[in-house]
Amino acid sequence: MMFRLLHRCRVTRRRLAEFHRVPRWVAVVWLVSWLSSAACGPLTAADEWPQWRGPNRDGVWRETGLVERFETEQLPIVWRAEIGSGYSGPTVAQGRVYVMDRLVKPKQVERVHCFDRKTGRHLWTHEYDCPYVGISYQAGPRASVTIDEGRAYSLGTMGHLFCFDAESGRVLWQRDMREDYKIRMPIWGIAASPIVVGELLIVQVGGQPDACLVALDRKTGQERWRALEDRASYSSPILIEQAGRPVLVAWTGGHVAGLNPQTGEVYWKYPFPPRQMVISIATPIVRGERLFVTSFYDGSLMLRVPRDELAVELLWQRAGKNERETDALHSIISTPYMKGDFVYGVDSYGELRCLDAATGDRIWESLEATPKARWSTIHMVENGDRMWMFNERGELIIARLSPEGYQEISRAKLIEPTREQLRRRNGVCWSHPAFAYRHVFARNDKEIVCANLAARAEQ
């Protein structure tokens, strides 16, 4: 609990260092005072979206003062800015919006962009040569830019890793992870978003030898540890707590693993090898002692991660006979949502389902939220008792999910789908939007847009 509070409040490293140097009685007085002030305010910067799936990487948006329902069929756009193709979801911090894209003419390049969050004014762009070799679905970068203490970290499809000064775009350091770690390149490229833990930047790249996960000094880019011989997956690591310690949870191409984020020591791992190919995309979700992952070919896996020990055990696993006979939940890109004793997620063919978290049994299903189509997807973000859902057709939905069923409150168009891939079904929305400053930020293969979600009195 102490670690979670310190981590979420993002106490500066300097203050933590001071805490360890002062006499014990002084430290106790300081800690009590700090905890009292922290308890009076939010644990995170609720108005920012600095990394994949939000401040705590849990798909929860903690802002208040939002619209109850939409007044128009098309959300009014505050600003739009032209960009190229890509699946990298926007991130937002310190009044700036970050996103990656790709151009193929006159040459193949990846780009990292920064825009003013209020006006969409272009602030800076960094461009680098990046021919895609052996990559399927070439529409562009996958990973979101991670912002931490004035630095922006980007990881491209072919493994180009950059650390920028987040305000100016100046390159502070860079690594070619493909070259440095002999990456066994996944068929859809490098996709897991980097995560900052303390002084380390941790990435999943599937390097060799024993470098599926690599931790680098966040300020210099120098390697601090490497771990696991697994191939890389597309799933972004998260941070949990067990036995009073921080645990990095990574779903790789072969295991769900828990590691010491400071040393790379493997505390535990549970095998979850793919039946056909590595297609682990959704982020692991954790509620209480339950940890859930799901993939298109391999179905659902629910593990127990006890709070009082560094261990893992199987609760249940469900997989259909084949890809057309899905059982519990076979998500492709969507990260599910778990609350209380229930799991909510979109299956491979667009069916929104509710599962009993204890058994995997299906409670209900619905085709209202997103169109029925192979690999259909939706992005879900919790806000109080409501769910904000961005679907396959670029619609933003306000809804409530419960064991009783799907209750839609309101729906409006936000952006046109990306046409670069799957043109036969009118495009897709595979890039996760960002929710910050009572606004939503979304992108396709032509533009990034911003729409106001503040209640009228708050605008």
> Do 222 and 349 share a domain, yes or no?
yes
Per DSSP, what are the bridge partners of residue 413?
Answer: 74, 395
> Do 278 and 383 share a domain, yes or no?
yes
pLDDT of residue 137: 87
> Do 224 and 286 share a domain, yes or no?
yes
Q: Angle between the 2-9 and 24-39 helix axes, to the nearest 10 degrees? A: 70
CB distance 230 to 252 below 8 Å? yes
pLDDT of residue 1: 42
> Do 419 and 343 share a domain, yes or no?
yes
pLDDT of residue 325: 72
> Do 76 and 5 share a domain, yes or no?
no
> Do 154 and 239 share a domain, yes or no?
yes
Structure tokens at 88: 């990298």
> Do 25 and 59 share a domain, yes or no?
no
Give the neighbor-by-neighbor strand order of the sheet with 439-443: 77-82, 447-452, 439-443, 434-436
- Residue 90's alpha-carbon distances to 55, 114, 441, 457, in angstroms, are 13, 10, 7, 27
Report the CATH number that the domain containing residue 215 is assigned in CATH. 2.130.10.10
Report the chain (459 residues): mean pLDDT per 10 consecutive residues: 44 41 41 37 67 96 95 96 96 98 95 98 98 91 97 98 98 98 95 98 97 98 98 97 97 97 98 88 96 94 97 93 77 93 93 96 95 88 97 96 97 92 75 97 97 80
DSSP state of 419: -
> Do 39 and 182 share a domain, yes or no?
no
> Do 150 and 29 share a domain, yes or no?
no
What's the count of helices (H) and strands (E) in the chain, helices before strands? 4, 32
Residues listed for the chain = 459
d(CA 93, CA 179): 31
Total tally of structural domains belonging to the chain: 2
> Do 92 and 181 share a domain, yes or no?
yes
**Segments of 193-260 assigned E as strands:** 195-197, 200-207, 211-217, 223-227, 238-242, 245-251, 255-259
> Do 111 and 154 share a domain, yes or no?
yes
Domain membership of residue 19 as a residue range: 1-43
Which of these three, 28, 43, 58, is where a domain ends? 43
CB distance 381 to 401 below 8 Å? no
> Do 107 and 247 share a domain, yes or no?
yes
Task: State pLDDT tens for residues 44-56.
Answer: 466 899 999 999 9
Which of these three, 25, 43, 61, is where a domain ends? 43
Task: State pLDDT tens for residues 227-267.
Answer: 999 999 999 999 999 999 999 999 999 999 999 999 999 99
d(CA 176, CA 155): 10
